Amino acid sequence: MLNVLVTGGSRGLGLAMAVKLAESGFNVIAVARKSSAALDAAMQRPIEGNVGGLSFRACDLAAVDEIPNFVKTLRGEFGRFHGLVNNAGLGTGGLLANMKDDAIEALIRLNVLSPIVLTRHVVRSMMTGREGRIVNISSVVAATGYSGLSAYSATKAALCGFTRSLARELGPLGVTVNAVAPGFIDTEMTEGMEQARLAQIVRRSALGRLAEIDDIANMVDFLFSEKARNITGTVMTVDAGNTA
């Protein structure tokens, strides 16, 4: 079975991606600081179609110095990596003038530095296999902007730049690198959103509704499929037409 690492795989978008990829036949290793009741339940259920695998390994990805050893341990346990989904992230918002420097630093550390360092270590095993898939979870705000999310948006824009250049670097080795830009999705990260702002997002969306967790998981699943073999260096927007 091909190994795929999904960071932030304990809940929200990451959990849905992990389950979907396992159902598509991958051996998924979900990574977060701790597991969750929902992930525990998913690991206990037989995978639909009985094809893939789903397990959990704990790591605080903000502790960037620990990433090399973490990857080495996983490699020893599971073997070569086929795929990586850089999904774990912080969604800290606030008017920039009111934000604390350490909150900004924490955003940049987990949302930018950590996925770049993790990719650097995981990609080495893809290079030896001369194939692989990398998906970085960005956001529509990287391109559109949203008041109260300037530092967060900067981190998500960084992932788009990272995606395009890395796609060029790894293309000759048969590795695809893409980003997915979700619109607003109802998860723990977004639960504090004001109803009025939410209604405005729905109103501005071409389809008059929000995209859902499964829509993002389906896009990631597609990017891992044979059908997406010639897609690389792109940012796939999934937002029910909010930015159309």
Where do contacts with ligand NAP occur on this chain (CB under 6 A)? 7-8, 10-14, 32-34, 60-62, 87-89, 91, 110, 137, 139, 182, 184-185, 187-190
Q: Which residue has the tokens 């260096």?
A: 233
CB 91 within 8 A of CB 152: yes
CA 179/CA 164 separation, integer angstroms? 9
146 is catalytic: no
Q: Could you tell me the smallest distance in angstroms from the CB atom of residue 243 to ligand NAP? A: 12
List, in sequence order, every residue forming a beta bridge with 57; answer none if it has no partner: 31
Q: Active-site residue among 26, 56, 70, 152?
A: 152
Looking at beta carbons only, is 3 or 87 nearer to ligand NAP?
Answer: 87
List, in order, residues 6 or more apart from 156 with CB less than 8 Å away.
Answer: 111, 138, 139, 141, 142, 181
Distances from the Cα of 44 to the Cα of 38, 40, 41, 55, angstroms: 10, 6, 5, 10
Residue 175 CB, nearest distance to ligand NAP (Å)? 21
CA angle 87/90/91 to nearest 5° reads 110
Burial of 220 (0-12, 13-18, 19+ CB in 10 A): buried
Helix, strand and coil in the chain, % to nearest 5: 50, 15, 30
Which residue's CB is nearer to ligand NAP, number 7 or number 27? Answer: 7
Query: Which run of H or E residues covers position 49?
Result: none
Q: Give 105 or 229: the residue with its C-beta nearer to ligand NAP.
A: 105
CA distance 78 to 160: 29
User: Is 168 or 197 the residue whose CB approaches ligand NAP more closely?
Assistant: 197
Q: Cβ closer to ligand NAP: 102 or 226?
A: 102
Strand partners of residue 237: 181
In the complex, least distance from residue 173 CB atom to ligand NAP, rounded to whole angstroms: 26
What residues does 181 pair with on adjacent strands? 237
**Which sequence positions are flagged as catalytic?**
152
